[in-house]
Structure 1
């Protein structure tokens, strides 16, 4: 160590060159600091899933400790794989659309056991892995027109804004959107207003880590004002957590009533991550020559992780829309996802600390990122009329149904029909994807 001007040896500098080389951070216009802060911000924004997922799947008869263990482990390992192997900033966790479907319909209505439901998750994931290896999902991604990709980004943005309003208690979505003006003076509403204003101001002032600062500052404000409800007791580390490992019933494949369940889970997973990959990366330096690098690996992580989820004791996983929080803060590489994955693993030992972050504190970050994903006027300049209609319809359907798969279907169908009317060519893969997505949504509706 060379001495400084006072003759005192200076501490050694920690080199981050290997991080730069592995993740290509400079090439994406990012920095190590930005990636680390992005990963931390994303972790806080999605940590609610470790509380909510066990609560929902308990309705299916799965012990909370089983689901907590499975959710943390599969989310952490899949997110680490997304970061270290695919080298992309997307985090992966159990999809809310899947756990609700399994708990309230598959088990609650059809009467399947939770073990059979997990078996259906596994077989849907095996089908997912097969079509991914055959590069079907990649071909569908390539077949999606730019206008629909803009619509997907718009839909994801609207989805995030609705989540923020819902968490703040200003709206409720139970099949139809309901406004709750009586909640406009609750701590959640104040947290939404304050955190949204704060994150926009901090971003305008170009403060690095603005999203994370807004979450932490809003958390402190909620505690100071007494706006944080007492947390439910957290499941502790115990052998009971392992009761779901290998408990799935693979014989469910041979039960006729499970066929539609497997198809619905497959379609939700198939298009869920595709929508997020496109919506979150559009118009960012994540893309290279308009394409997502490492997408085959990313799609495989999604499929393999969902199979692992069924084996461990939880429902299918997807790329999480809250990845937008880190990306909105400037994260562009797998280092952000790796950071989130490491923090997820730590959650097993520090679950009470996660519960200490009020979910309401993340509302401003969700709204800010949602707004940033909405298209600008210039995006519509080169679109045809039917393409503009498809984009608008996707956003509207997202608001009305709170379902990205239905929003995708609306845009897909409008464009296919519009192209047919105006005698414009439509990629056959895009037409096929529209048919498959329509079948999956129809099966959900009939259920």
Structure 2
């Protein structure tokens, strides 16, 4: 393990890395159920998508572990699966086979863009203050997701409002938040993981946690494997679909990599991410293979920050996640039984850990402060990491131009601006 992952050089050990991996996995295990449910709405086979989800996540995360040696996990992305099912298939009228083909094309394009260092250049060109703001925005975003998963925050007359926290999942999550917070305050090793286990147990008498049951054998991939349809791939609609997949995945991954790398304190002195190109290959390969197996776009998961907060710093953390995804193929009833209320406290506290870079953002210089603020604000209020980066980057470029500081804008940032404007125009 030392030779493979250089643990001592990263000031970590096997126990810490494995624990971090287990924590990350448990906070993102919901995708094993949510993704098949969403794609089933598009007409896909639930069991086949479950297997495709676990396998694509394992393969992509293994690439991250061994090629990049970074503690980040990957799986089919939330938001991207919703776009796949509810926009491309149910609204635009394309078959799910055509949607899978668009994802496959996206994956191939990503592999090419990564091979020619284009995606790496985009990551490295983002200003330092914005990188810090991305970490803060992701922290608030993931905490917000935790609150929603538990029903503590719900839809309401004022867009969002406080849910009924006196019973059910919300009450269990609140109890779990207190328990997990106490463990964190006492600096107990594995506090987040222990909090998930404890909250799951607390949920039993409340009827929130229940045994899901079902078969322990992995469902067949046959209904979705290589189920491509290349009809209409040169239509304007299909070009827009592929571009949308590209855009959202690119900036979600960029944001997650920057945010988690900042929290893990592994950024280089110049603000670049070590092994960035290799990390970007992981989601490109994952997306391509995932489409072949039968699932939507694979991306780096913001929940990786849970493992980073537990001390994960190397690929051993992501290797642990990958192994657990493979094991999950045979333990689906167990993972289905972990309620959202049990992982909500961890997501909320990870949000706290992620916002620490806010103190290092330059709020005195308006051309830096305003884009940073918009990045954070839009990431949460628009429910999208990509949107936060988009409006933050555009405002940064415009402010630099109008305040006669254009020399600070790199050619790569100009290209990013063009891509962002295209996204706004195309919707």
Q: TM-score, normalised by structure 1?
A: 0.90
Q: Which residue of 1 aligns with 2:260?
A: 280
Per-residue CA distance 1:298-332 (angstroms, 9 max, x = gap)? 11111111011111111010001110110011111
Question: What is the SS of the residue equivalent to 1:278?
Answer: helix
Q: Distance in 2 between matches of 1:319 and 1:99?
A: 14
- From 80, 84, 88, give the equivalent of 1:102: 84
User: How does 1:231-242 map onto structure 2 within 5 Å?
Assistant: 231=212, 237-239=218-220, 241-242=221-222
Q: What residue ranges of structure 1 are gaps of 5+ in the alignment?
A: 1-18
Q: Which residue of 1 aligns with 2:420?
A: 437
- From 192, 197, 200, give the equivalent of 1:219: 200
2:377 equivalent to 1:396: yes
Per-residue CA distance 1:143-166 (angstroms, 9 max, x = gap)? 111111011111111110110011
Q: Which residue of 2 aligns with 1:340?
A: 321
Q: Distance in 2 between matches of 1:227 and 1:127?
A: 43
Q: Distance in 2 between matches of 1:422 and 1:190?
A: 50
2:92 equivalent to 1:84: no
Q: Distance in 1 between matches of 2:254 and 2:415?
A: 15
Q: Distance in 2 between matches of 1:52 and 1:185?
A: 26
Contact kept in structure 2, 1:405 and 1:437, CA below 8 Å: no
2:391 equivalent to 1:371: no
Q: How has the CA–CA distance of structure 1 residues 97 and 238 changed in structure 2, closer, same or farther, with 3 Å as cutoff? A: closer
Q: Distance in 2 between matches of 1:34 and 1:215?
A: 17
Q: How has the CA–CA distance of structure 1 residues 374 and 242 changed in structure 2, closer, same or farther, with 3 Å as cutoff? A: same
Q: Which residue of 2 aligns with 1:165?
A: 147
How far 1:233 sits from its partner (Å)?
A: 5.3
Q: Distance in 2 between matches of 1:242 and 1:112?
A: 21
How far 1:200 sits from its partner (Å)?
A: 2.8
How far 1:182 sits from its partner (Å)?
A: 4.1
Q: Which residue of 2 aligns with 1:7?
A: none
Contact kept in structure 2, 1:269 and 1:316, CA below 8 Å: yes
Q: Distance in 2 between matches of 1:233 and 1:173?
A: 32
Q: Which residue of 2 aligns with 1:46?
A: 28
2:119 equivalent to 1:141: no
Q: Distance in 2 between matches of 1:158 and 1:177?
A: 19
Contact kept in structure 2, 1:123 and 1:253, CA below 8 Å: no
How far 1:189 sits from its partner (Å)?
A: 1.9
Q: Distance in 1 between matches of 2:298 and 2:251?
A: 12
- From 148, 160, 170, give the equivalent of 1:189: 170
Question: What is the SS of the residue equivalent to 1:318?
Answer: strand
Per-residue CA distance 1:71-92 (angstroms, 9 max, x = gap)? 1111011111211221111100
Q: Distance in 1 between matches of 2:37 and 2:102?
A: 20
How far 1:188 sits from its partner (Å)?
A: 2.1
Per-residue CA distance 1:195-221 (angstroms, 9 max, x = gap)? 223333222322111110111111111
Q: Distance in 1 between matches of 2:158 and 2:295?
A: 28
Q: Distance in 2 between matches of 1:284 and 1:400?
A: 25
Q: Which residue of 1 aligns with 2:43?
A: 61
Q: Distance in 2 between matches of 1:210 and 1:415?
A: 38
Contact kept in structure 2, 1:25 and 1:333, CA below 8 Å: yes
The count of aligned residue pairs is 424
Contact kept in structure 2, 1:269 and 1:318, CA below 8 Å: yes
Q: Distance in 1 between matches of 2:350 and 2:184?
A: 11
User: How does 1:115-130 map onto structure 2 within 5 Å?
Assistant: 115-130=97-112
Q: What residue ranges of structure 2 are gaps of 5+ in the alignment?
A: none
Q: TM-score, normalised by structure 2?
A: 0.94
2:289 equivalent to 1:305: no
Question: What is the SS of the residue equivalent to 1:62?
Answer: coil
Q: How has the CA–CA distance of structure 1 residues 349 and 134 changed in structure 2, closer, same or farther, with 3 Å as cutoff? A: same
Contact kept in structure 2, 1:154 and 1:391, CA below 8 Å: no
Q: How has the CA–CA distance of structure 1 residues 285 and 422 changed in structure 2, closer, same or farther, with 3 Å as cutoff? A: same
Q: Which residue of 2 aligns with 1:296?
A: 277
User: How does 1:12-31 map onto structure 2 within 5 Å?
Assistant: 19-31=1-13
How far 1:28 sits from its partner (Å)?
A: 1.6
Q: Which residue of 1 aligns with 2:393?
A: 412
- Alpha-carbon RMSD across the aligned residues, in angstroms, is 2.0
Question: What is the SS of the residue equivalent to 1:51?
Answer: helix
- From 243, 250, 254, give the equivalent of 1:270: 250
Q: Which residue of 1 aligns with 2:239?
A: 259
Contact kept in structure 2, 1:102 and 1:117, CA below 8 Å: yes
Question: What is the SS of the residue equivalent to 2:79?
Answer: helix
Q: Which residue of 2 aligns with 1:8?
A: none
Contact kept in structure 1, 2:362 and 2:368, CA below 8 Å: no
- From 58, 75, 83, give the equivalent of 1:93: 75
Contact kept in structure 1, 2:286 and 2:298, CA below 8 Å: yes
How far 1:375 sits from its partner (Å)?
A: 3.9
Question: What is the SS of the residue equivalent to 1:179?
Answer: strand
How far 1:238 sits from its partner (Å)?
A: 4.3
Per-residue CA distance 1:347-375 (angstroms, 9 max, x = gap)? 11111111122221011110111111114
Question: What is the SS of the residue equivalent to 1:88?
Answer: coil
